[in-house]
Amino acid sequence: MPFSSLLQFFVSGVTVGATYGLTALGFTMIYNTTGIINFAQGEFVMLGGMLAVFSMTWGGLPLPAAVPLAVLLVTAIGVAVDRLTIRPMRGRPPVTLVIVTIGISILLRGGAMLVFGKDTHSLPPFSEGAAIPIAGASLLPQTLWVVGITIAVVAAMKMFFDRTITGKAMLACACDRRAASLMGINVDVMVTLSFAFSALVGALGGVILAPITLTAYDVGVLLGIKGFAACILGGLGNPFGAVAGGLIIGVLESMGAGILSSGYKDAIAFVILLALLFLRPSGLFGKASADRV
Amino acid sequence: MSSIGSKGALAGLAAFAAAIVLAPFLLPDYYQSVLIVAGFFAILSMGLNLLLGYAGQISLGHAAFYGLSAYASGILTATYHWPVPAGVAAGVLLSGVTAALIGIPTLKLKGHYLAMGTLGFGVIVYIVLNEAVGLTAGPSGFTGIPRLSAFGRTFTSDREYYFIVWGIAFLLFVLAQNLVHSRMGRALRAIHTSESAASVLGIDVPRYKAFVFVLSAVYAGIAGALYAHFVTFVSPGSFSFNASVQIVTMVVLGGMASLWGALAGAVFLTVLPEWLRAIENYDILIYGAILILTMRFLPGGLAEGACRLLSRVRRLFRGKKADAAVLPDAGREDA
Amino acid sequence: MRGIRKVMAALLGTALLTGGAAFAAEPIRIGAIFSVTGPAAFLGEPERNTARMLEEEINRQGGLLGRKIELVVYDDESDPTKAVIAVDRLLKKDKVSAIIGPSTTGSTMAIAPKAEEAKVPLVSCAAAIDIVSPVRKFVFKTPQSDVLAVRQIYRHAKKAGIRKMAILTASDAFGAAGRKELKELAGKFDMMIVADEVFGPKDTDMNAQLAKIKGTPAQAIVCWGTNPGPAVVARNRTQLGIAMPLYMSHGVASNKFIELAGKENAEGILLPAGRLIVDEQVAAKHPQKKLLAKYAGDYEKRFKAPVSSFGGYAYDALSLLAHAIKAGKSAEPAAVRDALEKTRGFWATTGEFTFTPADHNGLTEEAFVMVRITKGGWEMLK
């Protein structure tokens, strides 16, 4: 196998992996305040891409206006999801809430299908230009946007959770909601905020990925699975781990496809993921958790 | 829910049996295949409920056990001309053995990590079904599976099939009910509440968890083999992640830790799309909305909702005094 | 008995003819199962739209045998199990004369035994050759079998001096069927398959597969799938600077593909397609010319979406049934089947159908033409 091919597999893996990592970041946000896995996270990503596409085709907006509008709209949808469904059901067992998020994902996906149709769409890249050759491999300019924005988002999240009082309050909600509320933290606001942020991050991911990956009403399902896998591999609740998990899965898939078998590439990635989980049951960068049921 | 005395349990079983016998006569003819499919899901969700509802262990890969058995029985009977009962037995066995093998490392995971472990297993099985083209015929699906037969008789009519599927579902229901009211059932519930506490009490937690995991896979395997010999065709799409999520949804929507709930969830979610056919296009929105609203207003699922309704009806029959006491309560709940 | 029945029929016929306007006869019910939602919606949606459009058109022209037709459409959500439930409903509740669809091979295989058992003709809109081979008495299909498309590609490649081929197929039913034929027919055309790669139907990056192919001695690539996968392949091919010819299947024969891949990335791609996509370039004398122009025009005007060959499968299925009902002068399922099997030289959007007891697809290789994507449009090759 020539080096240039291996490098190409790696570059492709990083591009795809960043997709998973960004989705995983959204999962992390909501998990960190509510302890639940939001199965509608992939739909936030889908909505980001789709709303950007349709702001351009229906609204006639230029790309630089369509992108922030889409992100803003999805953030609003995230807040609405929390207010209408999650908040009235606070304190219910996690499994119940997970089913509710499944219901939400069905609603959002179905709504997108009815409003936007079933076709696949593409978004123009953020910057013009041909693929950039590096040592025999090639890289799309949009990949640089994806990687750059992913790094910026992780850094911002890390800062937010470590340095700001709001971020710490959100983490406190995840650890023990009652204790947090006794400490004077407004848990409702924190949860709403986490939905807003996670929708924002998801939408941002959807928008920057759409030029490379194309988008359709149903792209959220696969992204949801891979994003969930990424944050589990990285260790739940750790933004850095989520992105690292995404990159690892992306590179594993790409290397698996290139070196072993393209048919089994996802299986290869999941076998390795399971093997890692059996060795480290709390993920690569997760803290070993106490028995909290 | 109130504890089920043996008298109540027998009455329940009698009602269940009566419902099975009467349903095909009360419902229009074309409901038969819907009810048969509901039967597969009823068996699947009863099995998963033992694991998820009683023992508190989630599986997001249950469709894999359903599919493994369906494919194994289909391939053995169609390609290798095994007799159908042998194929079914081999399929169920394969599901059970696979569960035993992967259960040992997987069940060490907890909560969302367990969800991921089982999900990953489901994805791997799904990919193998897609890619092992020589054996499974790949994404196009595997055709030519014979109809169910036993004792030299092939069951071709849907009505026969209906009674076979629901007869088996009934037996599996009785089995599960006995199990959850045994020592075993209490141990499982103890594990659900707190694994550490259960093991302090001397419960062999890993063994109980592995046992119930295998048992629920066997239930899925039975459903899978029955499915394969009913449709006579299997394709990987029927055993994807979506199918796993659907089974979990049936269990939770029906009511956790309730076998009646598993039945109710399975039948309701199978029949619901048939009712929604009239509102073509918007059915998917209604489906999602019903899911959310049920969880919102019936925290204990359909089973608990039905119980509440039943007890209210009972109180209504108890005379005027009780009636007066009930009414304001009813008014509040409906609002 | 027979005499009496004939007299009754004659009386009934007269009554219908004379009183037809006043007493509208019971409509002829035709069932349809399409994957309007789910992963195969790209097939089911245009099929449903087309069938509805054609239903209205037939009724505008007075229906069949003096009766209106009523199309009962059920969505199987791309799930064979749901198709089984739907076919039961069509047969037992709606009591249809015939069924068109399903959209996918899986659903078709799942319900074919039911149609056989009920003795109701089924005209499938799914491609796999297994549907009609071995022949089942009541099961027909309209799409060209993949084997015809593969032959066109290999013949073209052979003429261009290509001997070493890389194949890159989607891991769904459509891609898997193509892959099977590509491998089986390779020997016949002296092709050597030097790379056999697949991609998931929802995958967003095929660079790994293409980089691997780039490192093989392949002289051309055949990609088999439906949107969006092949569009990603076309994009990634440009990204990696792969110059060898790229063949695609008829699965991408719609303007949507060029839009998704981008004009510059789609340039030069070769594929076999039905004449629908190049209707303007079809010779004026060709028997399909008028039909194609009308269908494409009506569809695009009504649904504001580019026409695809998939919708054409449903168009053909319904018009074949309408033809058979008229020819056999009966809407009884068994009579419709018999008349359908006698169909000879019937031109529809996909090609010329000639059914025989041994051939329930009835198309020849002639149904396909090779086209090249040039400057964002379709160029028919001679």
Whether residue B329 is predicted with pLDDT greater than 50 in this model: the reply is no
How far is the alpha carbon of A52 from chain B, nearest alpha carbon, in Å?
Answer: 23
Whether residue B318 is predicted with pLDDT greater than 80 in this model: the reply is no
Peptide bond into C102 cis (omega under 30): yes
* Res. C12 pLDDT band, cuts 50 70 90: low
Q: Are A192 and A166 in contact (CB under 8 A)?
A: no
- Specify the pairing of strand C352-353 against strand A137-139: unpaired
Q: Are C31 and C94 in contact (CB under 8 A)?
A: yes
Substitution target from A23, A113, A144, A214 for chain C, most C beta carbons within 10 A: A214
pLDDT number for residue A289: 52
Peptide bond into C134 cis (omega under 30): yes
**Residues C237-259: pLDDT tens digits?**
999 999 999 999 998 988 889 99
**For chain B, give me the number of helices (H) and strands (E)?**
15, 2
Instruction: Give the H or E element holding residue C158.
Output: helix C146-159
Nearest CA in chain C to A134: C240
How far is the alpha carbon of C319 from chain B, nearest alpha carbon, in Å?
Answer: 24
Nearest CA in chain A to B123: A267
Q: Are A27 and A41 in contact (CB under 8 A)?
A: yes
Substitution target from B35, B143, B154 for chain C, most C beta carbons within 10 A: B143
Q: Which two tokens stand for residue C252?
A: 């991408």
DSSP B234: B
Instruction: Calculate mean pLDDT across residues B77-91.
Output: 97
Average the pLDDT over each of B101-110, B310-319, C76-85 and give the range with the smallest value: B310-319
* Res. B332 pLDDT band, cuts 50 70 90: very low
Supply the angle between the helices B205-231 and C80-92 in degrees, to the nearest 10.
40
* Res. C305 pLDDT band, cuts 50 70 90: confident
How far is the alpha carbon of C220 from chain B, nearest alpha carbon, in Å?
Answer: 24
Whether residue B98 is predicted with pLDDT greater than 80 in this model: the reply is yes
**Residues B121-174: pLDDT tens digits?**
999 999 999 999 999 999 989 998 999 998 888 888 889 999 999 999 999 999
Whether residue B323 is predicted with pLDDT greater than 80 in this model: the reply is no
Q: Which two tokens stand for residue C166?
A: 């890389």
How far is the alpha carbon of B249 from chain A, nearest alpha carbon, in Å?
Answer: 6
pLDDT number for residue C24: 59
Give me the residue from A117, A122, A254 closest to C260, CB to CB. Answer: A122
Give Dmax over CA atoms of chain C in angstroms.
Answer: 78
Task: Look at B116 and A277 and tell me if their CB atoms are within 8 Å.
Answer: yes
For residue C204, what are the CA distances in angstroms to A19, A146, B68, C208, C235? 10, 14, 29, 11, 11
Measure the CA–CA gap between B79 and B92, rounded to whole angstroms.
Answer: 18
Measure the CA–CA gap between C377 and B1, rounded to whole angstroms.
Answer: 67
Chain B neighbors of A264, CB-CB under 8 A: 127, 131
How far is the alpha carbon of A62 from chain B, nearest alpha carbon, in Å?
Answer: 31
pLDDT number for residue B325: 41
CB-based burial label for A59 (10 Å; 0-12, 13-18, 19+): exposed
Secondary structure percentages of chain C, helix, strand, coil, to 5: 50, 20, 35
B contact residues 238-277, partner C, Cβ 8 Å cutoff: 238, 273-274, 277
Task: Look at B131 and C113 and tell me if their CB atoms are within 8 Å.
Answer: no
Task: Please tell me if residue C357 touches chain A, with a CB cutoff of 8 Å.
Answer: no
CB-based burial label for C241 (10 Å; 0-12, 13-18, 19+): exposed
H-helix segments, chain A: 3-34, 41-57, 63-81, 94-116, 141-163, 165-175, 177-182, 187-213, 220-234, 239-255, 265-279
* Res. C364 pLDDT band, cuts 50 70 90: confident
Cα–Cα–Cα angle for B161, B166, B172, rounded to 5 degrees: 130
Q: Are A206 and A215 in contact (CB under 8 A)?
A: yes
**Residues B218-240: pLDDT tens digits?**
999 999 999 999 999 999 999 99
pLDDT number for residue B36: 96
DSSP reduced 3-state for A216: coil
Task: Look at C208 and A258 and tell me if their CB atoms are within 8 Å.
Answer: yes
* Res. C8 pLDDT band, cuts 50 70 90: low
Task: Look at B299 and A229 and tell me if their CB atoms are within 8 Å.
Answer: no
Task: Please tell me if residue C167 touches chain A, with a CB cutoff of 8 Å.
Answer: no
Pairs across A and C, CB distance < 8 A: 92
Give me the residue from B121, B123, B249 closest to A99, CB to CB. Answer: B249
Peptide bond into C143 cis (omega under 30): no
> What predicted TM-score, i.e. pTM, was given to this entire model?
0.91
Number of neighbouring beta carbons within 10 Å of residue C146:
24
According to DSSP, the residues that pair with B236 across neighbouring strands are none
CB-based burial label for B15 (10 Å; 0-12, 13-18, 19+): exposed
Task: Look at C227 and A120 and tell me if their CB atoms are within 8 Å.
Answer: yes
Substitution target from C84, C94, C183 for chain B, most B beta carbons within 10 A: C84
Measure the CA–CA gap between C229 and C223, rounded to whole angstroms.
Answer: 9
For residue C92, what are the CA distances in angstroms to A161, B31, B178? 61, 9, 39
CA-closest candidate to residue A293, choices B34, B201, B194, C114 = B194
CA pseudo-torsion sign B197, B202, B205, B211: negative
Backbone angles phi, psi at A132, to 5 degrees: -95, 120
Task: Look at C92 and B273 and tell me if their CB atoms are within 8 Å.
Answer: no
In chain B, the percentage of residues whose pLDDT exceeds 90 is 63
Residue burial C10-27, b: 16+ Cβ < 10 Å; e: rest: eeeeeeeeeeeeeeeeee
Question: What subunits make at least 3 CB pairs under 8 angstroms with A?
Answer: B, C
Question: Which residues, 6+ apart, have CB-to-CB distance to A73 below 8 Å?
Answer: A47, A51, A203
CA-closest candidate to residue C170, choices C246, C81, C110, C249 = C249
Whether residue B281 is predicted with pLDDT greater than 80 in this model: the reply is no
CA-closest candidate to residue C43, choices C378, C308, C353 = C308
- The chain-wide mean pLDDT, for chain B, equals 89
Backbone angles phi, psi at C98, to 5 degrees: -160, 165
Measure the CA–CA gap between A47 and A42, rounded to whole angstroms.
Answer: 9
Q: Are B263 and B46 in contact (CB under 8 A)?
A: yes
Task: Please tell me if residue C40 touches chain A, with a CB cutoff of 8 Å.
Answer: no
Residue burial A185-220, b: 16+ Cβ < 10 Å; e: rest: bebeebbbbbbbbbbbbbbbbbbbbbbbbbbbbbbb
pLDDT number for residue B322: 44
How far is the alpha carbon of B100 from chain A, nearest alpha carbon, in Å?
Answer: 16
CA-closest candidate to residue B64, choices B74, B72, B53 = B72
Measure the CA–CA gap between A231 and A242, rounded to whole angstroms.
Answer: 4
Task: Look at B141 and C109 and tell me if their CB atoms are within 8 Å.
Answer: yes
Chain A neighbors of C202, CB-CB under 8 A: 218-219, 221-222
**Residues C206-236: pLDDT tens digits?**
999 999 999 999 999 999 998 889 999 999 9
Instruction: Give the H or E element holding residue C347.
Output: strand C346-347
CA pseudo-torsion sign B145, B148, B150, B154: negative
CA pseudo-torsion sign A7, A8, A14, A20: negative
DSSP A83: I
Pairs across B and C, CB distance < 8 A: 79
Task: Look at C241 and A122 and tell me if their CB atoms are within 8 Å.
Answer: no
How far is the alpha carbon of A231 from chain B, nearest alpha carbon, in Å?
Answer: 10
Low-confidence ranges of chain A (pLDDT < 50): 290-293
- The chain-wide mean pLDDT, for chain C, equals 90
pLDDT number for residue A112: 95
Give Dmax over CA atoms of chain A in angstroms.
Answer: 61
Average the pLDDT over each of A218-222, B35-39, B331-335 and give the range with the smallest value: B331-335
Residue in the block written with tokens 């079983």: B13
Question: What subunits make at least 3 CB pairs under 8 angstroms with C?
Answer: A, B
In chain C, the percentage of residues whose pLDDT exceeds 90 is 74
Task: Please tell me if residue C262 touches chain A, with a CB cutoff of 8 Å.
Answer: yes
Measure the CA–CA gap between B58 and B213, rounded to whole angstroms.
Answer: 10
Task: Look at C88 and B133 and tell me if their CB atoms are within 8 Å.
Answer: no
SS3 per-residue string spanning C242-295 = CCCCEEECHHHCCHHHHHHHCHHHHCCCEEEECHHHHHHHCCCCCCCHHHHHHH
Residue in the block written with tokens 């960190």: A32
Instruction: Calculate mean pLDDT across residues B234-253.
Output: 93
Q: Which two tokens stand for residue C105?
A: 């091979």
Task: Please tell me if residue C45 touches chain A, with a CB cutoff of 8 Å.
Answer: yes
- For B149-177, give the DSSP string: EETTEE--SHHHHHHHHHHHHHHHHHHHH
Q: Which two tokens stand for residue C181?
A: 């034929």
Chain C neighbors of A216, CB-CB under 8 A: 228
DSSP reduced 3-state for B118: helix
pLDDT number for residue B335: 29
Cα–Cα–Cα angle for C260, C263, C267, rounded to 5 degrees: 115
